[in-house]
């Protein structure tokens, strides 16, 4: 049941953080992480589904309330082999970097991804998340409602037991991160425990998460979105998807990376950029893609029989990325070996040989925080 003080539709739009793009329909507002004009240039519809999932997106509100209620249609999307209850859609309330409550939902629609690209839609119902904020306060405080990283989210209403309004800009460092499914972090224990989400809360950074499951293909249209998104730090965790999709070869990988960086530098010539190489993935260290299901039922690479010249492996990609950063001689561009986030001794966290489990994502976030606190590239002062 809706609480007595409701935020207007314009108020909801103004409260959305983590993306500049919002779809509007008769029934609600849907934050999306890439604009339609850009997403439609992708090679298939997968990037549409990934961009619709609200990883890193949240509502920022000012209120004295003790309870906030969000009514939303939460449409999850995952491979048909994943059980329906394995990845609930989770909403989390956060005050001053601390979780105060969370609610998990399995009742929304599901888009099941079958072999050969077939998508099966299973209808579902609207979810109502009543999130406790603790005792009401005399003075308004900023409340963040983090939306699920595993679902598209159509916000139907936002209400509270006291007046509420969109929060004003807080001047925190603006962090834009780009990456693959490991940055999307579908297996994490909710949106605040993806590795970028955990790091953003610990560092008090304003996160835009452009982690797209299976879609970190160095697409030029994504580079333009990053170029046009004002940022104090840009991190690019790249290299895994071109390997596991066998999407690029040695001849095309370096030019694609350079082109991606060139586009970003057109709009942000001085913003620190950190190029992060892949984490440890034993099945692709010396074995190229495409990633397939092996005879034992587990994910594996596709050994090269010599008839695919120039195939990529992680053993090639990491030094190539480090070399590219060095070649550019850009004082505001840095290289970070992804194995510092999840290394050879941590591969027991790869639950399917490719994606970390919830504990693995938490470990990655904690290690990124440790690195960032001592790094020359990390923004340290609030923006004026």
Q: What is the pLDDT of residues 160-180, one digit of tens each?
A: 999 999 999 999 999 999 999
In a domain, 383, yes or no: no
Give residue-wise pLDDT tens across range 218-262.
Answer: 999 999 999 999 999 999 999 999 999 999 999 999 999 999 999
In a domain, 185, yes or no: yes
Q: What is the CATH number of the domain that holds 209?
A: 3.40.50.1110
Question: Which of residues 166, 188, 222 is at a domain's end?
Answer: 166
∠ CA 361-291-305, nearest 5°, is: 140
Residue 6 has pLDDT above 90, yes or no: yes
pLDDT at residue 1 in the model: 61
Structure tokens at 101: 């409550």
**Residues spanned by the domain of 20:** 5-166
Q: What is the CATH number of the domain that holds 147?
A: 2.60.120.260
In a domain, 348, yes or no: yes
Question: Which of residues 118, 139, 166 is at a domain's end?
Answer: 166
Residue 20 has pLDDT above 60, yes or no: yes
Q: What is the overall mean pLDDT for the chain?
A: 95
Closest CA to 212 of 340, 76, 41, 52: 52
pLDDT exceeding 70 applies to what percent of the chain? 98
Q: Is the domain of 129 the same as that of 233?
A: no
pLDDT at residue 37 in the model: 80
∠ CA 354-198-179, nearest 5°, is: 45
Question: Which of residues 147, 166, 185 is at a domain's end?
Answer: 166
pLDDT at residue 271 in the model: 98
In a domain, 241, yes or no: yes
CA distance 230 to 114: 38
Determine phi and psi for 355, rounding to 5 degrees.
-110, 135
The H-assigned helical ranges of 204-249 are 220-228, 240-244
In a domain, 77, yes or no: yes
Task: For residues 110-137, give the mean pLDDT.
Answer: 92
Residue 241 · residue 180 · CB < 8 Å:
yes
Q: DSSP string covering 300-347, please?
A: E-----SSSTTB--HHHHHHHHHHHHHHHT-TTEEEE-GGGTS-GGGG
Instruction: Quote the distance between the C-alpha of residue 179 and its chain's center.
Output: 7
In a domain, 335, yes or no: yes
Q: Is the domain of 227 the same as that of 281?
A: yes
Torsion angle (degrees, nearest 10) of CA 240, 243, 245, 248: 120
Radius of gyration of the chain, Cα coordinates, nearest whole angstrom: 20
Contacts of 358 (CB under 8 A, 6+ apart): 187, 188, 189, 193
Q: Is the domain of 68 the same as that of 181?
A: no
Q: Is the domain of 155 the same as that of 201?
A: no
Residue 364 · residue 184 · CB < 8 Å:
no
CA distance 100 to 61: 14
Task: For residues 85-90, give the mean pLDDT.
Answer: 94
DSSP β-bridge partners for residue 208: 176
Q: Is the domain of 233 the same as that of 335?
A: yes
Say how many domains are in the chain.
Answer: 2
Q: Is the domain of 161 the same as that of 214?
A: no
């Amino acid at each position: 049941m809706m609480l007595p003080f409701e935020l207007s539709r314009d108020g909801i739009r103004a409260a959305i953080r983590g993306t500049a793009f919002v779809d509007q329909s008769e029934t609600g507002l849907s934050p999306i992480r890439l604009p339609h004009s850009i997403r439609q240039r992708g090679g298939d519809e997968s990037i549409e589904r990934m961009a619709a999932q609200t990883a890193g997106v949240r509502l920022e509100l000012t209120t004295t309330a003790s309870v906030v209620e969000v009514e939303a249609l939460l449409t999850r999307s995952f491979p048909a082999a994943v059980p329906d209850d394995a990845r609930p859609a989770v909403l989390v309330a956060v005050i001053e970097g601390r979780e105060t409550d969370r609610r998990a939902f399995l009742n929304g629609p599901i888009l099941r991804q079958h072999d050969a690209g077939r998508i099966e839609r299973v209808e579902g119902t609207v979810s109502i998340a009543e999130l406790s904020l603790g005792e009401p306060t005399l003075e308004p405080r900023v409340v963040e409602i983090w939306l699920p990283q595993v679902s598209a989210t159509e916000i139907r209403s936002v209400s509270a037991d006291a007046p509420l309004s969109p929060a004003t800009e807080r001047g925190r460092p603006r962090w834009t991160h780009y990456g693959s499914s490991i940055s999307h972090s579908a297996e994490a224990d909710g949106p605040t425990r993806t590795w970028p989400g955990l790091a953003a809360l610990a560092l008090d950074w304003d996160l835009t998460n452009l982690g797209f499951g299976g879609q970190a293909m160095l697409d030029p249209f994504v580079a333009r979105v990053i170029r046009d998104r004002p940022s104090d730090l840009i991190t690019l965790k790249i290299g895994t998807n071109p390997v596991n999709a066998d999407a690029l070869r040695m001849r095309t990988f370096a030019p694609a990376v350079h082109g991606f960086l060139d586009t970003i530098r057109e709009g942000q010539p001085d913003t620190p950029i950190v190029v992060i190489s892949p984490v440890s993935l034993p099945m692709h260290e010396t074995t190229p893609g495409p990633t397939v299901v092996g005879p034992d039922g587990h994910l594996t690479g596709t050994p090269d029989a010599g008839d695919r010249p120039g195939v990529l492996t992680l053993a090639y990609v990491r030094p190539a990325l480090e070399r590219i950063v060095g070649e550019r001689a850009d004082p505001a561009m840095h290289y970070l070996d992804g194995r510092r986030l999840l290394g050879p001794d941590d591969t027991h966290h790869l639950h399917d040989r490719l994606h970390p489990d919830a504990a693995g994502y938490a470990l990655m976030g904690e290690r990124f925080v440790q690195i960032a606190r001592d790094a020359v590239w990390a923004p340290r002062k609030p923006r004026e």
